[in-house]
Structure 1
Amino acid sequence: MKHLPPPTFLNKETPPHIFTLVAIAGVTAIPLNIFLATLPAMAEYFDTPNSMMQLAVSGYLALTAVIQLIIGPLSDRYGRRPVMLGALAIFSLASVGAALSQSFVMFMIFRAFQTAASTGMAISRATVRDMVARDKAASLIGYVTMGMSLAPMVAPPIGGFLGAAFGWQANFYVLTAAGILVFALAYFDQGETNINKSTSIGAQFRAYPELLSSRRFWGYAATNAFAAGTFFAYLGGAPFIAKEVYGLGPSTIGIYLMITPIGYMLGNGISGRFATTMGIERMLMLGGITTVLPMLISMAVIAAGVTHPLGLFAFTFFIGFGNGMVLPSANAGLLDVNPHLAGSASGLGGAVLTFGGAILAGFTGYLMVDSTTAIPLVACIFASSFIALITSIVTIRIERAVRIAT
């Protein structure tokens, strides 16, 4: 491994403390769901159909995919620290603009610039791989995302209460404050970990074919995308199902949306504790099965006529729990394909994940238009989780074949 000094908190000459990694990863998660409970209210404010307002989620995810394609090579060329600081500054300014928007078009322009926050997840993963080896990286990513999962866990209910009390704009002022605070933390604590920077940005983009031709990379990236796709499909349909099918208000929707991040935090804890000893292959299988089976049960419960919101939301715990085990290991696997291209691999893998997520969120949102049941939503989540399980099995076989060949 590269020789880096141990982290010292608030010392920008050493690698970042785990608290800082959690913060810069968390600022990626909050913009995605803090305002979900107020989406119907935002649609009314902008006099925009719900299907168009859904672009605030699916469009955000699509642009995040593009951003991560660029961020990875930039961080390999110029370093993790300057790229992260620049992204946080853009995000903070864009959040103010979104809060002040008077039209849907203006809001979406500023929302597009908010995607700079997505830099946090790619940079935190690449930083972890700079610091430690593969199985340990899965463990550390698990701990980072366990802490990060507190953000999407508390953000929906806070966003729901803020929206009910002060209007949807309050959520974007909170995002502004979060961006400024994390910028200050990163400035004083995030030391540079990329000590072998590439010679040119062109060289970094030319390295993409090495990743694109790797079956291991695509296996892990596909597993990553379809596993996370369960969460994005859920985001694409749950707020409107909660309002239109179950008749819930913003604050109650926010509370139900906490269930999935709670599961994610616990799943991340399992990864952090056991990934090093169990290995990433077992974690991939365990997490995949943990998501698939509960979704089948949820469909059966709803089809049987259960009309209480828990017929859907109780089972969404396992979306988070399964992802909490799958995603750290899948990310560690794709970063290990070529450790010298950790930033590029993190960015490209993140782009595949978020682009796929944008498609699933948009498709699920489309299916939810005029829907009178949650079954289409659960079916989308099940399909994505089942494909993720299959790609995990295929990737494990590829990984074992590579080990035998070498």
Structure 2
Amino acid sequence: MLEGRTVVTTRQRRGAISLLLAMVLLGVFPLDVLLPSFPALAEHFASTPTDIALSISLFAVGIAFAQLLIGPLSDVIGRKGLLLAGMAVSILGAIGCVMTSDYTLFMTFRIVQAIGCGCFVLSQALVQDLFEGAERDRLRILMVTATGIFISISPLAGTFLQATLGWRGSFWLFIALAAVVLLKAWLFLDGGRPVAKGTPLNFLSAYRRVLGDFEFVGYWLISAFAFACHFSFIVISPLIFMDQLQLSAYDFSLILLIYGAAYVTGGIAATLLSRRISSAQQIVAGLSLILLAGLVMLFLSQYLALSPVTVLIPMLICTAGTTIARPAATSRAMGLFPENAGTSASAGSTIIFICGGLISALISLSPGNLQATLGYCFVLLSCIALALNKRISHRASVIENGAVTPSGSD
């Protein structure tokens, strides 16, 4: 973030980690805390649960496009100002959501909130700025694991908020948490000059540079496909558990609590694997677990009736794979252009959220068996990601042997 690499004290490191984890919390909170409120939102806006599910996917796409500008601008004008501005915009969007009773206006304000939440892409850039080597990799694993913990807690919190304050309660809590993060960012982050030189208009050339690199795009696509498997389940889980299986909001939140525990297990496994095998091998191991999860889900959907168990078993396997593969792929991608950490994070996160939003929207609109559709999605995405990882490894091997230049083709 500053000219050259900043020396970070132990106290600053702790402050940075707590800020990053708070940003992770707010990154998943607007999506997952609303899940138990799907029926109430549908009733309030005279809509259907499917329409509400689509609003979640649209929110993810809105974040993706906001990140396109935020990341590269942060390389030029610094992280702090953009983070503070983003938090303020997200708060205004959340206030608009609780004030309206019209579905179209609600969606408009959700997009405004999503645009503000685009500032959370800076968490990856801050990791790149403030940490190095193995500590950086471990922190990314911690952030993915924390994502799972927050995912598991958010629906339970949403159930409590729905019972006490109605669906608007989740937005009021988001506003309060966002205000705390805004204050923390104001106090902790400095306003020093960024690493990148030039003007804000140079972000186009920065994007051309990073997106023109096959390895960079490939690793982010691998991370995106792993994320899409998780996000698709999150989006359609209310349709499966609350709509099809007729579970209460409380029972649904308990199921997601179990699902979130898989992230903790996956995080522990990822930490242990990071000390014993290379990141390339971690990617293969994680994607293989996602492929296995898809096959198990297809088998269970074919031979057993739909139940929480037949959905949760493959999802626990998938989540462990996601937790192992995503941090490894992200670290590899972010390490390619450290001087453009903001642009790299924005480009990658945009790929992730567009893939997650579009794929989850397609699955939620599927006229067939949602469980089987999810299984086919896992198999297809994991196979594509494995093939892509193999292609990247082959290309790197050819380049290392001097048969082709990094910008060329083999």
Asked if TM exceeds 0.5, the reply is yes
* SS of corresponding position for 1:327: helix
Could you say which residue in structure 2 is the equivalent of 1:399?
396
Alignment of 1:128-139 (within 5 A): 128-133=127-132, 136-139=135-138
- Does the aligned pair in 1 maintain the 2:70–2:119 contact within 8 Å? no
Alignment of 1:20-59 (within 5 A): 20-59=19-58
> What CA deviation, in whole Å up to 9, does each residue of 1:381-404 have, x standing for no partner?
332233223322222333333444
CA distance in 2, matches of 1:16, 1:402: 41
Q: Offset at 1:230?
A: 0.3
Q: Offset at 1:81?
A: 1.5
> What CA deviation, in whole Å up to 9, does each residue of 1:156-191 have, x standing for no partner?
121123223432111111111111111122222234
4+ runs deviating over 6 angstroms = none
Change (3 A) 1:315 1:275: same
Q: Offset at 1:278?
A: 2.4
Alignment of 1:146-225 (within 5 A): 146-191=145-190, 195-225=194-224
Amino acid at match of 1:6: V
Q: Offset at 1:148?
A: 3.8
CA distance in 2, matches of 1:205, 1:62: 20
CA distance in 1, matches of 2:229, 2:181: 28
Q: Offset at 1:297?
A: 1.3
CA distance in 1, matches of 2:258, 2:199: 45
Q: Offset at 1:2?
A: 4.1
CA distance in 1, matches of 2:355, 2:215: 18
Could you say which residue in structure 2 is the equivalent of 1:385?
382
* SS of corresponding position for 2:365: helix
Q: Offset at 1:153?
A: 1.7
Q: Offset at 1:245?
A: 2.1
Gaps of 5+ in 2: 406-410
Amino acid at match of 1:30: F
- Does the aligned pair in 1 maintain the 2:145–2:263 contact within 8 Å? yes
Q: Offset at 1:136?
A: 4.5
Could you say which residue in structure 2 is the equivalent of 1:307?
306
Amino acid at match of 2:178: G
Gaps of 5+ in 1: none
Moved more, 302-311 or 131-140: 131-140
CA distance in 2, matches of 1:397, 1:366: 37
Could you say which residue in structure 1 is the equivalent of 2:293?
294
Is 1:229 aligned with 2:233? no
* SS of corresponding position for 1:6: coil
Number of matched residues? 401
CA distance in 2, matches of 1:240, 1:160: 16
> What CA deviation, in whole Å up to 9, does each residue of 1:197-235 have, x standing for no partner?
332111122221111221101110110111111012212
Amino acid at match of 1:399: A
CA distance in 1, matches of 2:176, 2:318: 30
- Does the aligned pair in 2 maintain the 1:130–1:193 contact within 8 Å? no
Could you say which residue in structure 2 is the equivalent of 1:96?
95
Q: Offset at 1:134?
A: 5.5
CA distance in 2, matches of 1:160, 1:114: 22
* SS of corresponding position for 1:314: helix
* SS of corresponding position for 1:149: helix
- Does the aligned pair in 1 maintain the 2:67–2:119 contact within 8 Å? no
- Does the aligned pair in 1 maintain the 2:29–2:151 contact within 8 Å? yes
CA distance in 1, matches of 2:244, 2:147: 31
- Does the aligned pair in 1 maintain the 2:196–2:339 contact within 8 Å? no
Q: Offset at 1:254?
A: 1.7
Moved more, 304-313 or 130-139: 130-139
* SS of corresponding position for 1:278: coil
Could you say which residue in structure 1 is the equivalent of 2:320?
321
- Does the aligned pair in 1 maintain the 2:100–2:106 contact within 8 Å? yes
* SS of corresponding position for 1:306: coil
Q: TM-score, normalised by structure 2?
A: 0.90
Q: Offset at 1:362?
A: 0.7
Amino acid at match of 1:245: Q
- Does the aligned pair in 2 maintain the 1:135–1:280 contact within 8 Å? no
Is 1:374 aligned with 2:371? yes
Moved more, 391-400 or 237-246: 391-400
Could you say which residue in structure 2 is the equivalent of 1:257?
256
Change (3 A) 1:139 1:192: farther
Could you say which residue in structure 1 is the equivalent of 2:408?
none
The alignment yields a C-alpha RMSD, in angstroms, of 2.3
Q: TM-score, normalised by structure 1?
A: 0.91
Amino acid at match of 2:87: L
- Does the aligned pair in 1 maintain the 2:94–2:110 contact within 8 Å? yes
CA distance in 1, matches of 2:357, 2:110: 15
Q: Offset at 1:358?
A: 1.0
Q: Offset at 1:86?
A: 1.2
Change (3 A) 1:134 1:241: same
* SS of corresponding position for 2:314: coil
Change (3 A) 1:373 1:205: closer
Amino acid at match of 2:392: T
Alignment of 1:75-90 (within 5 A): 75-90=74-89
CA distance in 2, matches of 1:194, 1:118: 23
CA distance in 2, matches of 1:148, 1:7: 26
- Does the aligned pair in 2 maintain the 1:142–1:268 contact within 8 Å? yes
Change (3 A) 1:386 1:308: same
- Does the aligned pair in 1 maintain the 2:293–2:314 contact within 8 Å? yes
